[in-house]
Homo-oligomer: A and B are copies of this chain.
Amino acid sequence: MAIKSQRAQRRTDALSKERIVDMAVRILDSEGESALTFRALTAGLATGFGAIYWHVADKEELLTAATDHVLTRVMTGVAENTDPREAIRAIALAIFDTVEMHPWVGAQISREPWQSTMPQILENIVRQLQALGLSKQAQLSSASVLMNYFIGVAAQISANVCLLSRDTDRSALLAHRAERVGHPQGTYPVPHLAAALPPDRVNRKEFLAGVELIQLGIATQT
């Protein structure tokens, strides 16, 4: 009933960029990146192509807006007035959890790293590094390592989710992997390691261990 009255309203409430982005995020979350087409959008919003293109220039702009929307909501308020090391840890975890909840964000981050919210996150990290008393030079390389580590992990998570959703079962994926890994160069010293290390689901604990390793490196710069 509530739905029906909303449907009746649908010509009353104007189409806005916000509503388009909301629908895009809903589609991306529920059916994955390949399901976000302009046709699916027009169907979900009950409009035509032109209506969407009136509010949004591109599919690219739509994707960055969606990423922006999800990331900013998570990043606001994170890392307020705590210890810099803790703040960096909190930022890292916020990114990790977001990408694991919305894998398409990971792909988008690695595709266009400096659009959307990423510059703000970078700036936040730099502020923490400043608080640690690092030199400008050390700030630069430290921030670069942290950001690129995040981007790399994000890309990996979304890639793994993509593979998992395509191949129906795990065993097929692993067989597929072993097959591709096994052959290429003749002798292959530690195949079990290479087959085991690329984790199907990047571990939160492992991710944090990486962050802490980087922080150890940063600590030597203070």
- Whether A45 sits at the interface, judged by CB under 8 Å, is no
How far, in Å, is A194 (CB) from chain B's closest CB?
4
Please encode chain A, from 79 to 111, with 1 for each CB lying within 8 Å of some chain B CB and 0 for all others. 000000000000000000000000000010011
- Whether A18 sits at the interface, judged by CB under 8 Å, is no
How far, in Å, is A167 (CB) from chain B's closest CB?
13
How far, in Å, is A201 (CB) from chain B's closest CB?
13
- Whether A120 sits at the interface, judged by CB under 8 Å, is yes
Return chain B residues, CB-CB under 8 Å to A221.
213, 216
Are A152 and B141 within 8 A (Cβ)? no
How far, in Å, is A184 (CB) from chain B's closest CB?
7
Return chain B residues, CB-CB under 8 Å to A153.
148
Interface of A is mostly: helix
Q: Which of A183-222 contact B (CB under 8 A)?
A: 184-185, 188-190, 193-195, 197-198, 206-207, 209-210, 212-218, 220-221
Are B184 and A120 within 8 A (Cβ)? yes
**Cβ 8 A contact of A217, one of B195, B206, B217:** B217
How far, in Å, is A67 (CB) from chain B's closest CB?
12
Are A113 and B159 within 8 A (Cβ)? yes
- Whether A37 sits at the interface, judged by CB under 8 Å, is no
Q: How far is the CA of A131 from the CA of B49 in the complex (A)?
A: 59
**Cβ 8 A contact of A216, one of B68, B72, B113, B220:** B220
Q: How far is the CA of A46 from the CA of B180 in the complex (A)?
A: 29
- Whether A51 sits at the interface, judged by CB under 8 Å, is no
- Whether A48 sits at the interface, judged by CB under 8 Å, is no
Q: How far is the CA of A213 from the CA of B52 in the complex (A)?
A: 46
**Cβ 8 A contact of A110, one of B115, B155, B216:** B155
Are B217 and A113 within 8 A (Cβ)? no
Are A190 and B127 within 8 A (Cβ)? yes
- Whether A156 sits at the interface, judged by CB under 8 Å, is yes
Are A72 and B206 within 8 A (Cβ)? no
- Whether A181 sits at the interface, judged by CB under 8 Å, is yes
Q: How far is the CA of A99 from the CA of B210 in the complex (A)?
A: 24
